[in-house]
Amino acid sequence: MARARLKSKALATVGGSKPITLERTCEKGNLRMSLQVYPDPQGYRTRIGYYADLYFKLDEPDQEGGPGQEERHIGFISCWRLSKGPNQYGHEDFQPWVTEWLRGDLGDEDDDSRPFKETLRLLYDETGKLRDNMNDELIRSALDETGSELVIVEMFWIKHKDETTGLQYSRQRIAPHALELFYSLINNGILPSWYIINLPITLILKAGMPSDDGLSEVWLNEHPRNPGETEQDYCARISDHVLNLFQVEQRYGYRKISDDHRVVVLTVSLPQRLRVVVNSTLEDETARPRPGPTQIKPQTALSSTRC
């Protein structure tokens, strides 16, 4: 997704915001999201990119009585929308998404499409049929030919803390607010109609520890590797922790698909859940997106996990 942003011009940009209260410090502020829609940089026909930058600004004045902190970039959500139409012809060769993502090799380690292929192939076989290791009928229905829009979330990152002010963003319950903003912006009618993702939306996320150390800061600092723990065991421990977090109903409500992998699914179908955005606008498509954090390099690792 990072490479897509460098190679592709944004097709549309929308923004929205909502007031939030940080859970641990009880400080109030404004959470803003800028969402950009991008074409696939590699020319694939059956996916389109959605990238959301997150910004936060405290309401409280500073010690001198002036305005509160300036707005800070605190995270992003990168995902792909899959164009997966119903199999009207009864033959997988008529399904472009099957040909593009479920057949052939995965590509090199630095291939932008590899994480997308890996996740889909955990769910579907090479003919496009769901694998047999899913026992939840609701999940099977959402992932099958039911008309549900499929969105694969490749990376969801919240900054650990601000280097200048020391304000901590992690463990402040910002992530659920960010997801609510995201769900609303992709569905509330602000985007041009051909980029709106209609309800119901099924979001697919492969839980794991990011391969980039900058994105893994909160885990490396707050949950460091134990003495004698191998890199693989450490990665698995953190990934299991992330998996459990996304299954907390009160915050995220994702459901685990199978014991064979760490892919979780959430179907958003109620319009009431999406009406949370204030001041949502269609932004100037000619304006350049604000830059992300400078210490994170734009590389494919942003969309990959360690295990």
- Summarize the confidence of residues 65-74 as an average pLDDT: 74
CA distance 217 to 209: 10
90 in the Ramachandran plot: left (φ > 0), alpha (ψ -120 to 50) or beta? left
Both tokens of residue 248? 């907390």
- Summarize the confidence of residues 183-188 as an average pLDDT: 88
Domain extent for 136:
2-303
pLDDT of residue 94: 61
Beta bridge partners of 266: 203
Q: What's the structural domain count of the chain?
A: 1
- Name every residue whose Cβ is closer than 8 Å to that of residue 275 and which is 6 or more positions away in sequence: 184, 188
Contact 75, 157 (CB under 8 A): yes
CA distance 164 to 94: 54
- Summarize the confidence of residues 50-60 as an average pLDDT: 93
- Which has more confidence, 91 or 177? 177
Q: Is the pLDDT of residue 261 over 50?
A: yes
Contact 142, 267 (CB under 8 A): yes
pLDDT of residue 136: 83
Name the pTM for this structure.
0.84
Whole-number percent of the chain with pLDDT over 90: 43
With cut-offs at 50, 70 and 90, classify the pLDDT of residue 294.
very low
The least confident of 114-128, 149-163, 241-255 is 241-255
DSSP H helices in the chain: 2-7, 96-101, 114-123, 137-143, 174-185, 217-222, 231-246
Residues in the chain: 307
- Number of H helices and E strands in the chain, helices first, is 7, 9
- Summarize the confidence of residues 211-216 as an average pLDDT: 87
- Summarize the confidence of residues 277-285 as an average pLDDT: 56
Residue 11: helix, strand or coil by DSSP?
coil
Beta bridge partners of 270: none
Nearest to 279 by CA among 4, 30, 5, 8: 30
The least confident of 5-9, 58-62, 302-306 is 302-306
What DSSP string runs through 13-62? EEEEEEEEE-TTT--EEEEEEEEEEE--TT--SSEEEEEEEEEEEE-S--
CA dihedral angle for residue 25, residue 72, residue 266, residue 153, rounded to 10 degrees: -140
Q: Is the pLDDT of residue 201 over 90?
A: no
Q: Is the pLDDT of residue 272 over 70?
A: no
- Summarize the confidence of residues 196-212 as an average pLDDT: 88
- Summarize the confidence of residues 215-230 as an average pLDDT: 92
Nearest to 55 by CA among 85, 40, 76: 76
- Name every residue whose Cβ is closer than 8 Å to that of residue 103 and which is 6 or more positions away in sequence: 126
